[in-house]
Amino acid sequence: MPDYIPSSAEYECTDCKDREFLYKEHGGDWVAVPCHCRPKKRMRRLIRASGLTEMLRKKTFDNFKPKPKQQEMYRVATDFAKNYPNIKNKRCNGLAYTGTVGTGKTHLLAAIANFLLSKGISVCFVNTPSFISELRRSQFEEGRIDEQVDAISNIEVVVFDDLAKEKSTEWVQNQYYKIVNHRYINNLPTLFSTNSNMEELEEKLGDATASRLYAMTKDRLIHIVDEDHRIIE
Ligand X SMILES: Nc1ncnc2c1ncn2[C@@H]1O[C@H](COP(=O)(O)OP(=O)(O)OP(=O)(O)O)[C@@H](O)[C@H]1O
106 binds Mg ion (CB under 5 A): yes
- Give the nearest distance from C-beta 213 to ligand X in angstroms: 17
Rounded distance between C-alpha atoms, residue 229 and residue 27, angstroms: 63
Tell me, by CB under 5 A, how many residues bind Mg ion.
Answer: 1
Contacted entry of ligand X, Zn ion, Mg ion, none for residue 35, CB cut-off 5 to 8 Å set by kind = Zn ion
Closest CA to 80 of 121, 116, 125, 35: 116
Rounded distance between C-alpha atoms, residue 127 and residue 184, angstroms: 20
Cβ neighbour number for residue 91 with a 10 Å cutoff: 8
Tell me, by CB under 6 A, how many residues bind ligand X.
Answer: 19
192 binds ligand X (CB under 6 A): no
Count of residues in the chain: 233
Fill in the DSSP letter of residue 88. Answer: T
- Give the nearest distance from C-beta 16 to Zn ion in angstroms: 3
189 binds ligand X (CB under 6 A): no
12 binds Zn ion (CB under 5 A): no
* Alpha-helical segments (H) within the chain: 38-50, 54-57, 71-82, 84-87, 105-118, 128-138, 144-154, 170-185, 198-205, 207-217
Closest CA to 233 of 52, 67, 61, 54: 67
Interactions with Mg ion, residue window 180-209 (CB under 5 A): none
Of the candidate residues 177, 195, 198, 200, the single one contacting ligand X (CB under 6 A): 195
Which is nearer to Mg ion, 93 or 106 (by Cβ)?
Answer: 106
Q: What x/- string results for residues 26 through 65 when contact with Zn ion is judged by CB under 5 A?
A: ---------x-x----------------------------
Question: Please, are residues 111 and 77 in contact by the beta-carbon 8 Å criterion?
Answer: yes
Which is nearer to Zn ion, 35 or 132 (by Cβ)?
Answer: 35
Closest CA to 70 of 228, 226, 230, 231: 226
13 binds Zn ion (CB under 5 A): yes
Question: Please, are residues 161 and 127 in contact by the beta-carbon 8 Å criterion?
Answer: yes
- Give the nearest distance from C-beta 32 to ligand X in angstroms: 44
The residue range among 2-10, 15-23, 108-116, 212-220 that interacts with Zn ion, by the rule CB under 5 A, is 15-23
107 binds ligand X (CB under 6 A): yes
Which is nearer to Mg ion, 106 or 128 (by Cβ)?
Answer: 106
What letter represents residue 1's amino acid? M
Site residues (CB under 5 A) for Mg ion? 106
